[in-house]
């Protein structure tokens, strides 16, 4: 299945059905009177987050969605049926943006969340609606109201607890393979990863979290170089970032600052997220050389640096536990904030 994380679609709700002009004409009934029924309401357009989807590929081959028109009213006070709704099913984490691609209409972060995008038009009144003591035989009815049409953007931001960032060939996919059952492509050339991957990391029998691997960043990514920063949206929801740096390359400090610069250019609060830095591929050097590079990098950036090897498994569990600690702290903070909000809303 191909991965697609954003698409533009056209949606239109259904028109309301027209009211009917009719009069009751039956044998032996002297005073029939108007009996035109009302039109039915047009169908709505809904977007619903469902479980089991992780891509928007379904909306690549069909971009137009229109709800049904309401049924027209008929004689004998028969009202038209309501038009069928259109329900667009999307993965959890999908954002709905207006045509300008900036105005956020909805953010679906939980299974079962639904949002009304276009409301169907109301049905028109039949002539029976207008009868009264003054106008006993109205000969007019209302047409149904038209539906609403608009272009919208669907943008998927994967739901993950932690995210992997770094330059191409930093070993992010290998690390994800080492800590989870995910099987991203691994090769000895840049940009092996062309779309994000998710893996479930098991910390203990009762604790797990989701780790996201995104394509590598290069200098100028914020201006569109390489694959750009488009995929950084998939780590916006993460509680912590794991920054992997290739220990075998020269200039580990420069590599770190290159990625940090692109993250700051991207914005969206990524630069303020907790970050764990790790030198990867230490299996390709001696322990003394690895420790020397770690000390130099730690002094340059002012942060602790871990030593890991996704291939050999060295230091991998330490990184997993460090990420788990940050995620637990973030969840505790969110629960306390929610509890404080409930206490403020409470009133006797």
Q: Could you give the CA distance from residue 298 to residue 304 in angstroms, rounded to a whole number?
A: 6
- Residue 226 is predicted with a pLDDT of 66
Q: Above pLDDT 70, what percent of the chain?
A: 96
Q: Please list the alpha-helical segments (H only) found in 198-286.
A: 252-266
Using pLDDT thresholds of 50, 70 and 90, give the confidence band for residue 128.
very high
Strands lying side by side in the sheet with 114-118: 86-91, 45-50, 114-118
Using pLDDT thresholds of 50, 70 and 90, give the confidence band for residue 82.
very high
pTM: 0.79
- Residue 55 is predicted with a pLDDT of 87
Q: Could you give the CA distance from residue 281 to residue 79 in angstroms, rounded to a whole number?
A: 72
Q: Could you give the CA distance from residue 251 to residue 302 in angstroms, rounded to a whole number?
A: 16
Residue-range domains of the chain with CATH: 1-156 (2.70.210.12), 162-341 (3.40.50.300)
Q: Could you give the CA distance from residue 155 to residue 171 in angstroms, rounded to a whole number?
A: 27
Asked whether 158 and 234 are in contact (CB, 8 A), the reply is yes
Q: Could you give the CA distance from residue 82 to residue 100 in angstroms, rounded to a whole number?
A: 32
- Residue 170 is predicted with a pLDDT of 85
> Cβ contacts of residue 97 below 8 Å, gap of 6+?
103, 104, 105, 152, 153, 154, 155
- Cβ neighbourhood burial of 203 (10 Å; 0-12, 13-18, 19+): middle
Calculate the average pLDDT of the chain: 88
Does the pLDDT of residue 348 top 70, yes or no? no
Alpha-carbon distances of 304 from 150, 231, 249, 263, 296, rounded to whole Å:
50, 27, 19, 20, 11
Q: Which residue has the higher pLDDT, 344 or 192?
A: 192
Using pLDDT thresholds of 50, 70 and 90, give the confidence band for residue 194.
confident
- Residue 347 is predicted with a pLDDT of 58
Does the pLDDT of residue 346 top 70, yes or no? no
- Residue 183 is predicted with a pLDDT of 83
Q: Are strands 207-213 and 197-204 parallel, antiparallel or unpaired?
A: antiparallel
């Amino acid at each position: 299945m191909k991965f697609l994380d954003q698409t533009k679609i056209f949606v239109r709700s259904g028109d309301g059905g027209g009211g009917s002009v009719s009069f009751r004409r039956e044998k032996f009934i002297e005073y029939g009177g108007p009996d035109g029924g009302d039109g039915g309401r047009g169908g709505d357009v809904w977007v619903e987050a469902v479980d089991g989807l992780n891509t928007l590929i379904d909306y690549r081959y069909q971009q137009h969605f229109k709800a049904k028109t309401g049924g027209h009213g008929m004689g004998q006070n028969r009202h038209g049926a309501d038009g069928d709704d259109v329900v667009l099913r999307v993965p959890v984490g999908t954002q709905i943006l207006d045509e300008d691609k900036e105005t956020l209409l909805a953010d679906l972060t939980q299974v079962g969340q639904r949002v009304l995008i276009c409301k169907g038009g109301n049905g028109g009144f039949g002539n029976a609606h207008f009868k009264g003591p003054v106008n006993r035989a109205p000969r007019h009815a209302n047409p149904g109201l038209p539906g609403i049409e608009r272009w919208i953007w669907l943008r998927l931001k994967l739901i993950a607890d932690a995210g992997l960032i770094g330059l191409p060939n930093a070993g992010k996919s290998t690390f994800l393979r080492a800590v989870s059952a995910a099987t991203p492509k691994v090769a000895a050339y840049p940009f092996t990863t062309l779309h994000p991957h998710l893996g479930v990391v098991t910390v203990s029998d009762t604790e797990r979290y989701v780790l996201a691997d995104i394509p590598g960043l290069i200098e100028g990514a914020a201006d569109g170089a390489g694959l750009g920063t488009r995929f950084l949206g998939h780590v916006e929801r993460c509680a912590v970032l794991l920054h992997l740096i290739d220990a075998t390359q020269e200039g580990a400090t420069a590599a770190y600052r290159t990625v940090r610069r692109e993250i700051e250019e991207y914005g969206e609060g990524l630069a303020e997220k907790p970050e764990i830095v790790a030198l990867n591929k230490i299996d390709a050097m001696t322990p003394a050389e690895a420790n020397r590079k770690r000390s130099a990098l730690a002094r340059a950036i002012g942060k602790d640096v871990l030593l890991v090897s996704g291939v050999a498994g060295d230091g991998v569990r330490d990184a997993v536990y460090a990420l788990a600690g940050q995620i637990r702290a973030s969840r505790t903070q969110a629960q306390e904030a929610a509890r404080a909000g409930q206490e403020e809303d409470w009133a006797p």
